Structures are given as structure tokens and as C-alpha cells.
Amino acid sequence: MNNAGVGLYGKLTDTPLEDKRKLFDINFWGVIHGCRAAVEHMRSRGGAIINLGSIASDRSTPLLGIYAASKHAVKAYTDALRMELEYEQIPVSVTLIKPTSINTPFIEHARSYMTNEPEFLSPVYPPEEVARAILHCAEHPMRDIMIGGSAKVFGMLNKMSPRALDRYMEASAFSQQKRSNPNDHRDSLDAPQRDGQRRGPTERRTLQRSLYTRAALSGVTRAVPFLVVGAAIATLRKNA
């Protein structure tokens, strides 16, 4: 399970190149090193490689652009690795987990060039949903899985009407990704500063579960489109 990752909030033109390179060293190259080591150990006896991507693997977010770029790279690497292992008939499954906003210390550990501390976009899901998906995919290989109905909604909207989604993000994401307290300039990009908590300091309400993800993991594929439509309607009503 390749889960090393750190965030970087700020406009792309305002964040230093050195910080962007550090982020890629962790988020992208960390996955590569982990996969290379795992394949060598599992080549003959088999196993499962699970890489943590993000909804940002499919859809970029303003103020979180370089993080999204690193997750796009993780997706591309994961997809290519899967095909190469299958071609060589190496018995190792490769799964990409793509969460939306998850209540972890991510925003606490992220470096920020905003005036306020970072915040998640709504809705926010519990970390247990990601853990459940990881365990499921280790035993029952899947190509990829989105965590959170909102991830599926954003993915569908991005395919159907990307420019409309651009406009929505421009109108909402800049303000929504800021907490009420000022930036304390503590982060984990260079070295760990604080840890030990499963959940983070988000001011948003955390949902108890993702019905969409649980349905997708259970194989009830017929119910998934209805759940997605329901989630889309709920999201639109909330933001109306």
C-alpha cells in the first residue's frame, strides 16, 4: 500500500519550484520506489499493490494544482504498471484508490501559501471508508475505486461538462478551501511536525459513510447509477 503523500495549497504561480519538487519526491517518486520494491518481492509468489490516488487524479482543483498534478502522475504510472504486469503474466494485482475529501490530518500537514489554514471541499468522508476499500481490494482486486459519492459525481461532471465544472470550481473552491483560523505556517513538507491522530482539524461535518462506495465494493453495480444520481441531486440542492 503506497500511501505517502503531502499537500501544497496556493496558486501555482505563487508557490516555489523547490516546494513543488519536494511534493513530487513524496507523492510520485514515493509510489515508484514502493512499487519497484513490491514487484521484486511479489514477482514469483504474487500479491497486491494498492496505490493511493485521489479524485484529483481525474480532476484538478484550484489552489491544489501541484498536488493534483502529482496524483495525475500516480494514475498514469499505476495504469501503465498494471498493463505491464498483466502482459508479463506476473500475478500481482494493481489497484488505484481515488478518495475525495477525507477527514484525515492532510490539511494539517499540508504546506500553505494562503492567509488562512487549508480546508477540505464538502462533503467530507471518514477515513474508515478508505481503509475498508483498501482491505477489500487487497483480497478482491479491482482496477480502481472512488471513495465518496461526490468523487463519482465530480468525475461524471468532468466528463460531461468540464467547462461548467470549471466555472463551479472557480466560484466555490477558492473560498471553501480556507478555514477560519489564520495560517500557522506549520506543515510536514520538509519534516514531520505533528502526528498521532486519525482525523484532522476540519471544520466541516464528516459523513458517517459513503453508500456509493459500499455499493461499488459489494458488486451491486446496478444500484450505483441510482446512487450517483441521488448524490448529484443532493449536492445541487445543498449548493442551490
Please give the positions annotated as active site.
67
Q: How many residues does the chain have?
A: 240
Tell me, what DSSP letter sits at residue 214? H
* Whether the Cβ atoms of residue 227 and residue 150 lie closer than 8 Å to each other: no
CA 88 to CA 79: how far, in whole Å?
15
